[in-house]
Amino acid sequence: MVFQCSKCKRKWQQPIGICPYCLIELDRIKSEKMETVVSSKVSISSLPHMKVPYFANIIKDEQGNLFAYKSTEKIDKIELKSNPESVAIFRIKYDIIEGLENIFKLLEVSLNENLKVLVIPTLISTNYTYFKENTSPELLESVLNFLLEKKISVKVGAQSFNEIPIEGLAQKSGLLDVCLKKGITPFDLSKAVFVKKEDLEISEEVLSADLVINLSMLKAEKVASTDNIFYVLKKENYSGLKYLQSEKEISEKLLKTLSNVITIGEADTVQRSNSTTTYLGLIFGGRNFLNVDAIFNKVIMARKLPEIIKDINVDSIAISGRSIMEVERDIEM
């Protein structure tokens, strides 16, 4: 993705918004085909790229724009193959919209005007956005822009499982402002009707939506995507099942029951295991939230895996977009 001024034709890789020469808004220029121009086999290990050898390539699109691209083997061109059952990984280079476009494409999610979409952001803490506890206002705004541009009917819902009212969480996180700016009044999932599906009590809003977008804020050694999907359940139902069964069983049942969920895992800046934050520059996506959590923890080389995903064989999970080795980084270092 490059940004170009329609008047002076200058181009930028960073989304600066306004051309400093012509003072007009820049256009987003998408690339269709990418071919390798030159390639270097790298044999020295570094903190961001511990596994060697790898290839660092300069690739060129059909408009002559050049980009950097890491690969695990020598490549002539870039081919991103979609797979609806995969965990999709894409590198965000400042531009979240590009990441979202590619994640939906890789997962073969068709978005049309008649679709009813429910977005469930992560909303668990009153901490400021830079703590990376909740979905970031930037991601929520990008998701809403992305959907509203396609004239899709969008609802945003969340609920609180602790003593802090959801309204308070929404306000402090900056997510309420984003929704209101986009003309959406978010609603409290706990106040909606819940429908019994075997021993699960799931929000009717979730069941009636054509597509539920589970927006997780991924965190090291945690199952943030899975944790966020629990909020589709009635609070008492979740607490009871957690006591009688386990979160693992609940998550597996939810996975079987909900076929309309897509998880978008936010990982531009993420929490390490000690809650400090670090830049990662990625976005994940997938229909299986457990797999998204497992692959994220694999990518960040997590030392301690949460019980829920401990037994998942990550090698059996299909990956689309960027490969694990291309993006793998030990974020504790």
Partner 1 sequence: MHIKGVGMTNFDYSQKYWWQLAYEAAIEALKDAKMNISDIDAVVLTSMSSAAGGEHQTHKTSLLSGLFKVNIPIIETPAVCGGGGVAFWTALHLQGFNNILVLAGERLVDNKSEVVTDEILSAAERVIEQPEGMLFPVQNALIWQMYSKKYGGSMEDLSLIAFKNHQNAALNPHAYFYNRPIDLEKVKNSPEVASPLRLMDCSLSVNGGAAVILSKDETDIEVIGSGFATDYIVTFEREDMTHFNATKMAAKMAYEQAGISPKDINVAEIHDAFTSVELISYEDLGFAEEGKGGELIRSGKINLKGEMPINPSGGLKAKGHPISATGLAQIYEIVKQLRGECGERQVPNAKLGLTHNIGGAGGSVTVHIFKKK
- Residues of this chain that bind partner 1 (CB under 8 A): 11-14, 37-50, 54-56, 58, 66-70, 91, 93-94, 279, 281, 327, 333
d(CA 227, CA 290): 10
In the bound complex, what is the minimum distance in angstroms from residue 47's beta carbon to partner 1? 4
Nearest CA to 91 out of 72, 68, 73 is that of 68
d(CA 88, CA 296): 10
Instruction: Give whichever of 132 and 234 is closer to partner 1, judged by the CB atom.
Output: 132
In the bound complex, what is the minimum distance in angstroms from residue 331's beta carbon to partner 1? 12
Residue 11: which H helix or E strand, with range? strand 11-12
In the bound complex, what is the minimum distance in angstroms from residue 69's beta carbon to partner 1? 6
Tokens of 144: 């809403």
Nearest CA to 173 out of 219, 122, 222 is that of 122
In the bound complex, what is the minimum distance in angstroms from residue 203's beta carbon to partner 1? 38
d(CA 152, CA 19): 31
* Amino acid type, 232: V
CB atoms within 10 A of CB 189: 23
Instruction: Give whichever of 39 and 273 is closer to partner 1, judged by the CB atom.
Output: 39
In the bound complex, what is the minimum distance in angstroms from residue 75's beta carbon to partner 1? 13
Instruction: Give whichever of 61 and 133 is closer to partner 1, judged by the CB atom.
Output: 61
- What three-state secondary structure class fits 55? strand
Instruction: Give whichever of 46 and 259 is closer to partner 1, judged by the CB atom.
Output: 46
- DSSP label at residue 98: H
Instruction: Give whichever of 46 and 316 is closer to partner 1, judged by the CB atom.
Output: 46
